A and B are shown apart, each in its own frame.
Chain A
Amino acid sequence: MISHLPRYLFNFIFFTLIQVLVLNNIQLSGYVNPYLYIIFIITLPFETPGWLLLLLGFSSGMVIDIFSNTPGMHASATVFMSFLRPYVLRIFAPRDDYQPGTIPTMGYYGAAWFLRYAILLIFAHHLFLFFVEVFSITHFFSTFLRIITSTFFTLVLILIAQLFSKGKKQGR
């Protein structure tokens, strides 16, 4: 657990910077806002205790909030996602359970498993975020379209990021 610390500290800072400086400035036709920073929560180790998961979710969301002038929006969505994570992991657990010492990434459990796991969490996060953002259901369908398209683009970015970290592992 402690040995993971530097790696996750780096992840936290790196993905927050990417999100704030690059992705927050990207806008495709008003419907797509990719949120890559949640990859930090998605790839936390299996043994992460629940309380730590929630606190990390809150703080990573809050940092993004501070930079984009939206106190609470990202924080609440990320906390919601962190809350769902143990249950989603339980649903998709392989027959002989997760191996100790592994982390939930494509490198350890394969693309098919990671895809199912990530899509569900990203969708939950975006669903919460976009509906908190509009704070009403009057724009239900346009909001829903934004959720679907953004989920897709966030997923693509997360997969690309995963490919990079996977390559590093094989090189070792």
Chain B
Amino acid sequence: MRNFIRFIIKYHFAILFFIIEVVALLLVINYNAYQRSSFLSSSNSMSGGLFKRYSAGAEYLMLREINDDLARENAYLRSRLPESFRASRDYFNLVYDSLSQQEYLYRTARVINNSTDRRFNYITLNKGRAHGIEPEMGVISDKGAVGIVKNVSENYSTVISIINTRLKISAKLKDSGFFGSLEWAGDSYQHVYLHDIPRHANVSVGDLVVTSGYSSIFPDGIYLGYVENVDLEKGASFYSIKVKLSVDFKKLAFVEVIGHSIRNEQLTLEKETEDD
């Protein structure tokens, strides 16, 4: 016993190092479990509060651009008002049926922390459970899709951004309708890759890429970017398509969180079908 204690005292430095390092590496490996507890992520109130104050300052410097963007979006929305369409007797009237529900709900939120230089990039928003945000909701900006909500605390939420190697998004080519999965390669924050487009599809540079709507996280047709480079290796059955993202993740300030009111119904139905 005395030898054992002497051994521990003699090598306490190495033993302690070993224990702490194992703890730290366990944290890394159990990363997702710890993310869920959201205590160690930036949606906890201490770091969230600090980032909020910081982003208030940083935002002030970007006001000009944000104003431009908002003005543009206002103009767009105004153009969609009933008043801006010419009424014509020749068309059928739309009947608002009280049985049909609104399918997607939009909530605005502010980006209070954002990163673009890591392999796993996350965004923190200033709204949380108290404002009706839930995990797995889609997040878009006025320029296109941004990411998917991961964790939610009372007043903050974290979002996995599209430029995170852990995220795959179901996307399709707007013109031809072929769909595949969109994935970030981890290099440039402006480019992602579209996989699984078969070689008989017609793809050309400049084609628009939009969300497919299959995942029921994003509505159909949210803008993602355009095809910048098409590559077809000899003998490969799928294209390798480089997509330029429409959203500039370096300039993100205001986003909209999309709630899908009848998503659970779709998921339950799909699950039932799979189980049969």
Residues of A within 8 A of B (CB): 20-21, 24-27, 30, 33, 50-51, 54-55, 57-58, 61, 65-73, 75-76, 79-80, 82-83, 86, 132-135, 139
Residue of B nearest to A75 (CB): B24
Contact A69 B122 (CB under 8 A): yes
B25 at the interface (CB under 8 A from A): yes
Contact A79 B21 (CB under 8 A): yes
For the complex, what is the distance from the CA of A55 to the CA of B24, rounded to whole Å? 12
Nearest first, the 6 A-B pairs at minimum CB distance are A72-B27, A76-B24, A27-B117, A72-B28, A50-B13, A75-B24
Residue of A nearest to B29 (CB): A72
For the complex with contacts A27-B117, A67-B42, A76-B24, 17 further pairs of A-B residues with Cβ separation under 8 Å are: A21-B54, A51-B12, A57-B20, A58-B20, A58-B23, A67-B47, A68-B115, A71-B31, A71-B41, A72-B24, A72-B25, A72-B29, A75-B27, A76-B25, A83-B13, A132-B28, A133-B118
B137-167 contacts to A, CB under 8 A, are 158
Contact B28 A73 (CB under 8 A): yes
Contact A76 B158 (CB under 8 A): no
Residues on B with C-beta less than 8 A from A134 are 119
Q: Interface readout for B35-55 with A: 1 if CB under 8 Å, 0 if not?
A: 100001110100100110010
The main secondary structure of chain A at its interface with chain B is helix
Residues on A with C-beta less than 8 A from B42 are 66-69
CB distance from A59 to the nearest CB of B (A): 10
Contact B120 A70 (CB under 8 A): yes
Q: Given the known inter-chain contacts A51-B13, A54-B16, please indicate yes or no for A69 contacting B120, CB distance below 8 A.
A: yes
For the complex, what is the distance from the CA of A54 to the CA of B16, rounded to whole Å? 8
Residues on B with C-beta less than 8 A from A27 are 116-117
Residue of A nearest to B123 (CB): A69
Residues on B with C-beta less than 8 A from A58 are 20, 23-24
For the complex, what is the distance from the CA of A86 to the CA of B93, rounded to whole Å? 80
B73 at the interface (CB under 8 A from A): no
The main secondary structure of chain B at its interface with chain A is helix
Q: Given the known inter-chain contacts A58-B20, A83-B17, please indicate yes or no for A68 contacting B40, CB distance below 8 A.
A: no
Residues on B with C-beta less than 8 A from A30 are 117, 187-189
Q: Given the known inter-chain contacts A65-B40, A79-B21, please indicate yes or no for A72 contacting B13, CB distance below 8 A.
A: no
CB distance from B1 to the nearest CB of A (A): 22
Contact A54 B20 (CB under 8 A): yes
Contact B13 A86 (CB under 8 A): yes
B94 at the interface (CB under 8 A from A): no
CB distance from A146 to the nearest CB of B (A): 10
B34 at the interface (CB under 8 A from A): yes
Q: Which listed residue, B12, B28, B116, B186, touches A71 by the CB 8 Å rule?
A: B28
